[in-house]
Amino acid sequence: MRKMDHMIWKRTNCLLLTALISLSLTGGASSFCASEAGNQSTLTRLDDSGYLYYMDYEKDYYSPEVMNAMREIGFIDPGCSVFFTHNEAGEPITCRNYDYPHRVSKEDRSLTGLNIILHCKPEGKYESIAIADAVWIDENNPLLQRGGPDQKGFDPGMLDILPYECMDGINEKGLYVSIQRVDIKEGDQPARFQAGSSMLLRYMLDDCANIDEAVRKTKTGILVPEDWQNCHFMVSDASGRSVVIESRNSIVSVISSDICTNFYLGSDDMEDYYMNGKLREEAVKMTDEEMTPGYRYGFGHGYHRFVTILGQLERYRDTMKEEYYTRMPESTALVILQSVAQNPFTNASGISMTQYSAIYNNEKKTMEVWPFQDYSKSYVFEVTGKQISP
């Protein structure tokens, strides 16, 4: 991994959170299509199983009351693994697993999900293509689960705030952003605004052309570090840079890294102690859902996935270049994503579920998606929303 550098500042002024409103977004599955004031939005199922859909969101989602709707949504808690590399052509690519074990109900523990590829082109802002986890809108609504939009009674109004449920995406400038959870340790400040991280992701995609602008957005945006510090962001751009931006106890850190999972990269959580007069560090134990220790190494949740990716990236390091640089076929990048996919058989730190895997091309501004660990077929979209052949 590249040498990590830190740029840290403390946010002392508190900006007002601009309120946003839940708009009347029309749409639906293949049998649902509605229009209003000349604008039309459609929701189209892509896969046979009903885990993945596409929506072209054409309405203005910036208005004065969305904050109240977002507060009602509550907690967004994505696990996830992401890494940055280059394909055989030397194009920068960002590779992502989105992990969360949505369940049908408290009684039915079957895994489910509803992910929507969302194309947005708000007036005066950058065009983007992203993937939203629609289940977060209402985890208890069966119509916001696998195949729900194709069922009788589906109301397109359920998807009003979908642009703020995106977990990763890329814009027309080649800026990629994704959210990864970090565990809040004892004594740490929890996030003040649970949906703040997904809102900040949307602002970055809409307003930022590169990493520097995304970093500035965390300093000058309408969300303060206290709002989103239960998550951090992997950010990459078309120039070939990648960083992790995280907030911990109101301090924002920017770390040069090509891998991100679910522990802080800007802080050292190793336990220091002396043995025979020498300072040593003992890794924090990881625990499963029953708080039973699983490993004696690592910084916490996601460390085993981090080192799995790191070991494989090192194999594809281009030693002819002076700076750290990895390069591989995109098929190999997909294998790496598969190696850290989460499912009921990968319970090292609690059972999770990889809802989808995706590879974003920062130069071509495209995404390729594999839904619900079905790697037999993928779906490729340009940032314009046009679907292309894989």
Q: How far apart are the C-alpha atoms of 169 and 96, rounded to whole Å?
A: 10
Extended strands (E) in 100-142? 115-120, 128-133
* Strand ranges across the sheet with 166-171: 6-10, 251-256, 242-248, 231-236, 176-181, 166-171, 128-133, 115-120, 52-57, 39-45, 33-36
What 3-state DSSP class applies to 228? coil
Q: Helix H segments across 18-160?
A: 66-73
Contact between residue 48 and residue 155 where contact means Cβ atoms under 8 Å apart: no
Superfamily, domain 6-388: Penicillin V Acylase; Chain A (3.60.60.10)
Q: Work out the number of other CB atoms within 10 angstroms of the CB of residue 334.
A: 18
Strands 52-57, 115-120: parallel, antiparallel or unpaired by DSSP?
A: parallel
Q: Which residues contact residue 186 at a Cβ distance below 8 angstroms, ignoring those fewer than 6 apart?
A: none
- Pair of tokens at residue 26: 């029309």
Q: What is the pTM of this model?
A: 0.84
> What are the angstrom distances between the C-alpha of 262 and each of 181, 232, 246?
5, 8, 11
Q: pLDDT tens, position by position, for the chain (390 residues)?
A: 443 443 333 332 332 233 332 323 333 333 334 333 334 468 999 999 999 999 998 777 777 666 667 666 766 777 899 999 999 999 999 999 999 999 999 999 999 999 999 999 999 999 999 999 999 999 889 999 999 999 999 988 788 889 999 999 999 999 999 999 987 777 788 888 777 888 899 999 999 999 999 999 998 778 888 888 889 999 999 999 999 999 998 899 999 999 999 888 887 766 666 667 777 666 555 555 666 655 444 445 788 889 899 999 999 999 999 899 999 999 999 999 999 999 888 765 456 899 999 999 999 999 999 999 999 999 999 999 999 987
Contact between residue 177 and residue 201 where contact means Cβ atoms under 8 Å apart: yes
Q: Counting Cβ atoms within 10 Å, is residue 175 exposed (0-12), middle (13-18) or buried (19+)?
A: buried
Domain boundary assignment for the chain: 6-388
Contact between residue 177 and residue 205 where contact means Cβ atoms under 8 Å apart: yes
Q: How far apart are the C-alpha atoms of 326 and 137, rounded to whole Å?
A: 37
Q: How far apart are the C-alpha atoms of 198 and 296, rounded to whole Å?
A: 32
Contact between residue 48 and residue 293 where contact means Cβ atoms under 8 Å apart: no
Q: How far apart are the C-alpha atoms of 162 and 147, rounded to whole Å?
A: 17
